[in-house]
Amino acid sequence: MCIAIPAEVIEIKDGNVAMVDYGDLQQEIRIDLVDVKVGEFVLVHVGYAIQKLSREEALETREIFRQVYAALEEENPVGT
């Protein structure tokens, strides 16, 4: 199974490279496959933006990921 993570484009650099923000992490990605602008949200898979999505979809998906990770940590606390 492949997972793509929503991120906000915060800067576009030369050579189809963008800086994105995942909420608590920033990373450079490639934007060769989509036409995006600063402030838009994309799905990122293995360092490439593969699709644009709405702000609402992105924030909802981030919240779902947060809930899943929180549940996993409750089930398997670090250090036990």
Q: Does domain 5-75 have CATH number 2.30.30.140?
A: yes
Domain positions in the chain: 5-75
Residue 73 vs residues 43, 50, 59, 76, 78: alpha-carbon distances, Å: 24, 29, 21, 5, 7
In angstroms, the CA 62 to CA 37 distance is 20
pLDDT of res. 17? 98
For 13-53, what is each residue's pLDDT tens digit? 988 999 999 988 999 999 999 999 999 999 999 999 999 99
Instruction: Give the pLDDT of residue 8.
Output: 97
Say what the pLDDT of residue 79 is.
64
Q: What is the DSSP letter of 61?
A: H
Residue 6 pLDDT > 70, yes or no?
yes
